[in-house]
Amino acid sequence: MVLLVQYTLTFASVLILVALGGCISERSGVINLGLEGIMVIGAMGGALTMRYLPEGSSDIVIILAVLVAAALSGLIYSSLLAVACINFKADQTIVGTALNLLGTAGATVIVKAINTAANPDDVSSVVQYPIPKRAFMENIGSFEFNWFMAVTLVALILVWMMLYKTRFGLRLMACGEHPQAADSVGINVYKMRWAGVLISGALGGLGGIVFITAGVSEWRFEYGVAGFGFLALAVMIFGQWNPIRIALAALLFGLFRALSNVYMGFDFLAALNLPSQIYNMMPYIISLVVLAFTSKKSRAPKAEGIPYDKGQR
């Protein structure tokens, strides 16, 4: 049971961070379908930082350096989405899909190039990072606490406060609901949408590094992030673009994903003798079922996905 809770919180942390990123972007009016690729790039930035940090670095230095590198990598990569969709008014669905394909392929090529430069016989896309276990994990009794859980809680609180308690958040949401009205009162819609996409990229990058460091000390980048970017979008929709509801939805989806790691520890599940692949598929099946029954009641930001035209009224 302890392991189930531990894995649930770990996977929920990933989903919360990435779904919050998608929420902020869509609240500004830009659909960020590129979260999968952003997660991969953020994971690469964080993993390479861990790989090249000097041995003997303090835990706090490791944690801060990895967080900053992952967030910055995701932020920079998401700027491609912002340029294409905000400045050039490109189709947001197509650009997001392209970012997903480019992210995994680009990370694989970059990591292979780095490995080959260090060792001509090494053509793998594996990044090994032996440091993070001691830095990110704390044993509390039989429970293994991941410091990323605390980071996720802080991010959740900050995003909620930003959206509902600050002038910036209210202006951001106005740009996703009625950008022409926002512009008429002096709000720069382009800048607000840029801010939404960049914040989305930073949170997506953090989600990527949390995903790959959850239980391993190396990662093969052609594997991507197993569809967690798309699963986070389902969590965002199920959570109705509300941070608190997103967190609750992430816990539900995280629970089903955690079952694939610990189902053998439950006699009633082991007795079913189902293949492990069935449990791996469960969060995605649940997402389809949940969205099928809740999509009619979804209240997405009215202007999401619509390029802003300053001359349109």
| pLDDT, one tens digit for every residue, the chain (313 residues) | 788 888 899 999 999 999 999 999 999 999 999 999 999 999 999 999 988 888 888 888 888 999 999 999 999 999 999 999 999 999 999 999 999 999 999 999 999 999 998 888 887 888 877 655 567 777 777 777 788 899 999 999 999 999 999 999 999 999 999 999 999 999 999 999 999 999 999 999 999 999 988 756 678 888 899 899 999 999 999 999 999 999 999 999 999 888 877 765 565 566 667 777 787 788 888 888 888 887 777 888 999 999 987 766 6
Q: Give first-to-last CA distance, the chain, whole Å.
A: 56
Q: Looking at the domain assignment, is residue 249 inside a domain?
A: no
Is residue 295 within 8 Å of residue 237, measured between CB atoms?
yes
Q: Which domain holds residue 103?
A: 13-233
Q: Looking at the domain assignment, is residue 296 inside a domain?
A: no
- Exposure b/e, 47-58, CB count within 10 A at least 16 = b: bbbbeebeeeee
Q: Looking at the domain assignment, is residue 261 inside a domain?
A: no
Phi then psi for 140, rounded to 5 degrees?
-115, 95
Q: Looking at the domain assignment, is residue 32 inside a domain?
A: yes
Q: Looking at the domain assignment, is residue 312 inside a domain?
A: no
Q: Looking at the domain assignment, is residue 94 inside a domain?
A: yes
Angle made by CA atoms 109, 111, 115, in degrees to the nearest 5: 115
Q: Looking at the domain assignment, is residue 103 inside a domain?
A: yes
Count up the domains in the chain and report the number.
Answer: 1
Q: Looking at the domain assignment, is residue 248 inside a domain?
A: no
